[in-house]
Structure 1
């Protein structure tokens, strides 16, 4: 940790859907500057993979402009999970696999014979490349020569730290995100790593809070920053959202991190409630502690349900959707979430619905799925929503009615950015506010209760 706390922390936030650079005031909190771009998957080559060159170009251009506009004192990194990089001499030994690719399923039976038990890793078996151990197993089998050329494996935030500093690392929040590679109870690599002979491949485990090194001199010169700019090891994005809420607050609480994925963290919850068959797992927080969690691909499903044309419904629209029982049932991201084997369907032909009606149904769907996750976790205490769904009034109010708990919404645009910036200091708690009622009459009525009851029945819960 740097002796002098940097104030203007540029956070590279690599989400599954978008990549951002946000300059955060790490002392007072708040975002000083931001830029975003789509994060596209490249289809050519041996398999679908992250466009790391495009992200790198975005990052450097954004750093140049941010440094000129507000200044940059330090760099921190957060990125989505289920992703890592095999590096060798001169760069990547293999492209960074897109975790939605189904290639690893081809060796699923062989992988099942070597992966550790859920009780060791608290990592459920997931499809495609969602288990990072399955990715490595498939890459080793399908591309043995390239795999053999790899000198180190880096978790994804640390891959970007390596590109900025030249220092290789892995880190517990990304290793603890349903990878099969980490044993949270021992804070060590799982038995899979030894069984496969990957111990020498894994880059050293470093704390999320560690400064790996300064920005490489040639990059600092290009960006236009003088002196030494420290680069933090970084952490998994949902855990970045969680981090500010772990500071100075005791007792159980629930944090719902939203984005492409909706991840519910039951801080103070019990690990023995976790059900591997329902996409429940133990995440690992920035301090290395396991946190019972459940998740679903809520942002992706919301976009599919609204066809990417979300339009806020008014009270009359919501009342009509409730009265007519217009609803969507899980799951529109097969293989994940609390209903992994279900095929998503509508109660009516969605082509006949207006954009606000689809948005109302999608918001209610997301709230009901979140409430299911919280119920399965036995989540207690207040509920704080981070990320895009914090700005969805219908989602917030429905979740409050469904859960019976106080629901708060973080006012910052990206909880991930403030959490990642806080690695250089005590994370500034993003102001959380009580949610205003969307329409208390509609969501406290018997109509809403009947709607929720029917949804649960049809969803099989």
Structure 2
């Protein structure tokens, strides 16, 4: 029986590492995934297990190459942003893949901003909110001055999606979607690397930029197959919608982060927007796209774990709840905020906050969960509004983990009455976008 021709995609998230096969109609025909334990870096802070990840990817790919059912015709990668792999001349990592939540030395950060015209001026030029390690370009500055012994061995700095491509092709490149993702590297006024990148001698460490739909080839021992250069996951998630939709829309891509993306919003960033984690991405062709971000996946996990511990409930309890109008009306009538957010700051969006959650004040888990989602969706709507103002749309697609949460979706519908809220048909949007990229020219 003839083998089914497929496009293979590795979709490397912070939590799940996934491998997909898509047929010629870009329908998913196979997937597998793993989770890898973090490895402490030299300071004892958890870091991405880059070598075990590489080993898993190569093993998984070789198994798929030998599949009696599928024939891999193309390969691509999608990966989370704000992550750099620093390598030697041969492409071997010489530092851990630092976690973007790792603390940045405050004094060094202040020095950096002082050298670059002040914090907010720098942030406006680079369309990057001040996020310390999450401004991944600043990780190179951190390495240069806080870890000089490690830095002297660095010859190349690759964004994670492009490092994944390097594993299979042996070629080092950069792409717009990673460079433009709140890195602090790109000057959106000049549409070139910011002066600090050149001044610090960092530009030579950054490989040449190729368009996002460029094709390389895997190494001969890996089949010599046409292979993409990788794409930043949020940019990948947008592609299926851009291809399918003819009218303006916005996308809320949810997971660890909720990324609000309005590809039709070309307005420039204000200082106020930057302080609320609003920024611009670069598309695969290098065009600016306005987005805002919210750490809702981690916030949800933290609060639900707290509730489970208080009521001694098994994992997954919240998934059994469905939207109930009477519960919604009840929590809407509460006069004071009752959730003490762990990661999010309601006051950034002009909303009230509670200092802590008193779970004993709730009648039961359902009331607490509805109250949490009510207050969470208030913040989510405020974050969304940042990309809708100036370029309003009437449709919002929601993909990723929260598109299966009926309470979350219904609350958004209540709070955005003029908006059609559409749960997405692309639950693996970033992987599908990566598959589309390598099939654009065929």
Q: TM-score, normalised by structure 1?
A: 0.81
1:266 pairs, out of 258, 262, 266, with: 262
SS at match of 2:234: helix
CA, structure 1 residues 344+412, in 2 after alignment: closer, same or farther (shift >3 Å)?
farther
What is the rounded CA distance, in whole Å, between the counterparts of 2:57 and 2:322 in structure 1?
42
CA deviation digits over 1:402-426, x for unaligned, max 9?
1220111112331111111111224
Preserved CA contact (<8 Å) 1:256 1:264 = yes
Matched position secondary structure for 2:129: coil
Q: Post-superposition shift, 1:317?
A: 6.1
| Structure 2 contact 323–406 (Cα < 8 Å) conserved | no
Residue 38 (structure 2) aligns with: 41
Matches for 1:332-371 after TM superposition, within 5 Å: 332-333=342-343, 338=348, 345=355, 348-349=358-359, 356-371=366-381
- Asked if structure 2 preserves the Cα contact closer than 8 Å seen for 1:173 and 1:239, the reply is yes
Per-residue Cα deviation, 1:50-102 (whole angstroms, up to 9, x for no partner)? 10122122212322343425342221111111111111134112221111100
1: CA distance between counterparts of 2:322 and 2:377? Answer: 17
Q: What's 1:389 paired with? A: 402
Do structure 1's residue 182 and structure 2's residue 186 form an aligned pair?
Answer: yes
Q: Give me the whole-angstrom Cα distance separating, in 1, the residues matched to 2:135 and 2:213.
A: 25
Instruction: Answer whether contact 1:12 1:76 (CA < 8 A) is retained.
Output: yes
Corresponding residue for residue 138 of structure 1: 142
1:302 aligned partner = 300
**2:57 counterpart residue number:** 59
- Partner of 1:112, secondary structure, is helix
CA contact (8 A) 1:313 1:356 kept: no
Who is 1:458 aligned against? none
- C-alpha distance in 1 between matches for 2:363 and 2:282: 41
State how far apart, in whole Å, the 2-side matches of 1:43 and 1:234 are.
26
Counterpart of 2:165 in structure 1 is: 161
Shift of 1:368: 2.4
Note closer, same or farther for the CA distance 1:59–1:32 as it changes in structure 2 (3 Å cut): same
User: Using the alignment, how far apart are the partners of 1:98 and 1:315 within structure 2?
Assistant: 35
Specify every segment of 5 or more residues in structure 2 that has no aligned partner in the other structure, as ranges: 306-314
CA distance in 2, matches of 1:341, 1:395: 19
For the residues of structure 1 that align with 2:268 and 2:257, how far apart are their CA atoms? 23
Could you tell me how far 1:323 is from its partner in structure 2? 1.1
Instruction: Establish whether residue 252 from structure 1 lines up as the match of residue 248 from structure 2.
Output: yes
Give the 3-state SS of the residue equivalent to 2:209 in structure 1.
coil
Deviation at 1:347, TM superposition (A): 5.3
Question: 2:436 aligned with 1:425, yes or no?
Answer: no
Match of 1:3 in 2: none
C-alpha spacing 1:30/1:356, structure 2 compared with 1 (3 Å): farther
Q: Distance in 2 between matches of 1:34 and 1:350?
A: 43
Kindly tell me the number of residue pairs found equivalent between the two proteins: 412
Counterparts of residues 81-92 of structure 1 (less than 5 Å): 81-90=81-90, 91-92=92-93
Retained in 1: the 8 A contact 2:349–2:382? no
Q: Which residue of 2 aligns with 1:445?
A: none
Tell me the distance in 1 between the aligned counterparts of 2:219 and 2:372.
Answer: 45
Q: Call closer, same or farther: CA 1:280–1:152 in 2, change over 3 Å.
A: same
1:451 matched residue in structure 2 = none
1:216 and 2:219 equivalent? yes
Query: Which residue is 2:131 aligned to?
Result: 126
SS at match of 1:210: coil
Counterparts of residues 438-453 of structure 1 (less than 5 Å)? none
The 10-residue stretch of structure 1 (40-49 or 91-100) with the greater mean CA deviation from structure 2: 40-49
1:217 positional shift? 2.7
Tell me by how many angstroms 1:186 deviates. Answer: 3.6
CA deviations over 1:246-304 (Å, ceiling 9, x no partner): 22645532111111110001121143354111100011122211111111111111111
Q: Partners in 1 of 2:253 and 2:194 — Cα distance?
A: 26
Q: For the structure 1 residues 178 and 205, does the alpha-carbon distance in structure 2 shift closer, same or farther, using more than 3 Å as the test? A: same
- Name the structure 2 match of 1:113: 114
